Chains A and B, each alone.
Chain A
Amino acid sequence: MSNIEEELRAAFERQEAVVPEAGSVRSRIDLAWVGVKRRRAKRRAFGAAAAVVLVAAAVPVVTTFAWHGGQPGQEDTVVANSATSAPPLVTDAAPIDVLLIGGDHRAGAKTPRADTIVLLHLPADRSAGWMVSLPRSGLVDVPGKGRQKLATTLALGGEQLTARTVEALTGVDLDAAVVVDYAAWRGITRAVGGIDMCLDQAIPPQDGRAGLAEGCQRIDGDDVSPLLQGQAGLKQASIDRDRNAQRFLAALAKKLAADGTATSPVRINQLLAAAGGGLVYDGNMPMLLRAAAQLKTSELIGLGEPVFTSTADGEIVDSAQWKSLYQAIRDDRLAKWAAANPSFVND
């Protein structure tokens, strides 16, 4: 043991005399936490607005959790400004993954269910946004809950559990998870004056919901539930429903980018009000906003399995092809993967 090491230990030991007493620090922290919670309530509102901006910039998202690849921290302190500021000159060199959950509080049901589960991937080069639809009836190992359908995770443990399950399934470290309910989508759709999109097949009426005709049309607020929930009578049921959801998101992103909403705080606030409480955001907004601002197009490309591999219990989502897709997300080479697996690409 050298002299310097001894001296160092002695210096540390001496310094112990000035260590503050834990009890008083604890009180201070608890007090500060109250303030944080209050600010967070406000930030949710900002976050919701920001989420809409993200939609505009091709990142449709709604409630989040900020995960920074294992480093909680960097709270969203610049939310208000970053929504409108110019894209930074230096680009973040990291890909970003956000889980978008289209959930719903069904009438009469106490627990929310996830209908649409989309993993949104922004590549490091920000060349486009990628939407990977995970089947809601996909069979997954839910942490602590055994083998279940993916959709049930929302009711079992909220978006956190859904996100952890998707992380376990895909090996992708999510940066955020967002939940949107149908009321919020209806509100947003009305607020933007409808969304123009094309359906490759008619959606039959079901469960008291109206149907939608085949072809290009304007989707109004009232059409949102039929569009996003309708699956009975579609050629490939939930596969086609997921594709419709992707088309809807892509069309919304395009609309918001085209009409300038993305850059107008006033319009964002209007949209926020329209979304109401169904749009909850809580996450690392600066990072997501920077990423959104860096996107080179407002184009969202949808990926999903063309034909489900079903068992009696649900869909297989860990086949070799799915695994190669997860690997491609982790390796940030979705464009290459999509080129090699064109049947997965939604149009």
Chain B
Amino acid sequence: MAVTYEEFADSRLSALLRYAVMLTGDPNTAEDLVQETMLRVQLHWWRVARSDSPDAYVRKILTNQFIESRRSSWWRRVLLRADPDPVVASSTDHAAETAERDRVWALLAGLPRGQRAALVLRYYEDLPDREIAEILGCAVGTVRSSISRGLDALRAELVEAR
């Protein structure tokens, strides 16, 4: 076991936090998710350490936890945050642009978690289908269809909104 938990946490924690923020859309929820994940990782460190890629393994744990946690009010929080932004109609281009981006974010929040995770892994983490499938524990074909369905949904909503 070359890597210790400490070394892993030192080198990977920032990246995990970024990933968690993209998944959850909220820094506080992301912190909770990462904390919960890292506690589990410590509990089972020997098993994590002997896996082919501790990093991928931990990402998988975090992703599963995100997909499975029902209580999380992430989407509600995001929607609530997106809602009181009818300042959308405000005057400056900048505000409009910001609102437009928030719109993407809010739409993302409305997608099923598995699709969201697939989109984050593809368009934020830039991972190939095979690795995404590994993390999500599904077939490569499923990853592709999740991503394309996710994109379709976003596209449709955005077009409708415009």
A41 to B40, CA, bound (A): 16
Does A20 make an interface contact (CB < 8 A)?
A: yes
Interfacial chain B residues near A19, Cβ < 8 Å:
14, 17-18, 21, 27, 30
Interfacial chain A residues near B154, Cβ < 8 Å:
4, 7-8
Which single residue of chain B is at the shortest CB-CB distance from A13?
B124
Interface string of B61-93 (1 = CB under 8 A from A): 100110000000000000000000000000000
Contact B119 A28 (CB under 8 A): no
Interfacial chain B residues near A20, Cβ < 8 Å:
17, 21, 27, 30-31
Does A10 make an interface contact (CB < 8 A)?
A: yes
Interfacial chain B residues near A10, Cβ < 8 Å:
101, 104
Interface residues of B in 117-138 (CB under 8 A from A): 119-120, 123-124
The verdict on A33 contacting B25 (CB below 8 Å), with A5-B151, A10-B101, A22-B14 known, is: no
Interfacial chain A residues near B13, Cβ < 8 Å:
22, 25-26
Contact A11 B105 (CB under 8 A): yes
Interfacial chain A residues near B34, Cβ < 8 Å:
25, 29
Contact B43 A4 (CB under 8 A): no
Contact B47 A72 (CB under 8 A): yes
Sorting the interface of chain B by its residue count into under 10, 10 to 19, 20 to 34 or 35 or more gives 35 or more
A2 to B158, CA, bound (A): 13
A28 to B30, CA, bound (A): 13
A7 to B108, CA, bound (A): 11
Contact B155 A4 (CB under 8 A): yes
Residues of A contacting B: mostly = helix
Does B38 make an interface contact (CB < 8 A)?
A: yes
Interfacial chain B residues near A26, Cβ < 8 Å:
9, 13
Q: Smallest CB–CB gap between A304 and chain B, Å?
A: 28
Contact A160 B46 (CB under 8 A): yes
Q: Smallest CB–CB gap between B9 and chain A, Å?
A: 6
Contact A36 B120 (CB under 8 A): no
Does B4 make an interface contact (CB < 8 A)?
A: no
Does B35 make an interface contact (CB < 8 A)?
A: yes
Contact B64 A4 (CB under 8 A): no
Interfacial chain B residues near A36, Cβ < 8 Å:
39, 42-43
Which single residue of chain A is at the shortest CB-CB distance from B159?
A4
Contact B39 A11 (CB under 8 A): no
A2 to B119, CA, bound (A): 14
Does A322 make an interface contact (CB < 8 A)?
A: no
Interface residues of A in 66-91 (CB under 8 A from B): 66-67, 71-73, 75
Interface string of A298-312 (1 = CB under 8 A from B): 000000000000000
Contact A4 B50 (CB under 8 A): no
The verdict on A25 contacting B31 (CB below 8 Å), with A4-B154, A11-B101, A11-B108 known, is: yes
Contact B64 A73 (CB under 8 A): yes
A52 to B30, CA, bound (A): 39
Does B143 make an interface contact (CB < 8 A)?
A: no
Which single residue of chain A is at the shortest CB-CB distance from B26?
A18
The verdict on A14 contacting B101 (CB below 8 Å), with A26-B9, A29-B38, A33-B42 known, is: yes
A143 to B47, CA, bound (A): 13
**Chain B residues within CB distance 8 Å of chain A:** 9, 13-14, 17-18, 21-22, 25, 27, 30-31, 34-35, 38-44, 46-48, 50, 60-61, 64-65, 101, 104-105, 108, 119-120, 123-124, 151, 154-155, 158
Contacts A20-B21, A36-B43 aside, 19 further interface pairs with beta carbons under 8 A come to A5-B151, A8-B108, A11-B104, A15-B21, A16-B21, A19-B27, A20-B27, A20-B30, A20-B31, A22-B14, A25-B35, A26-B9, A29-B34, A29-B38, A29-B39, A33-B42, A66-B44, A72-B48, A72-B61
| 10 CB-based A-B contacts, threshold 8 Å | A7-B154, A9-B124, A11-B108, A12-B124, A20-B30, A29-B39, A33-B39, A65-B44, A72-B47, A73-B64
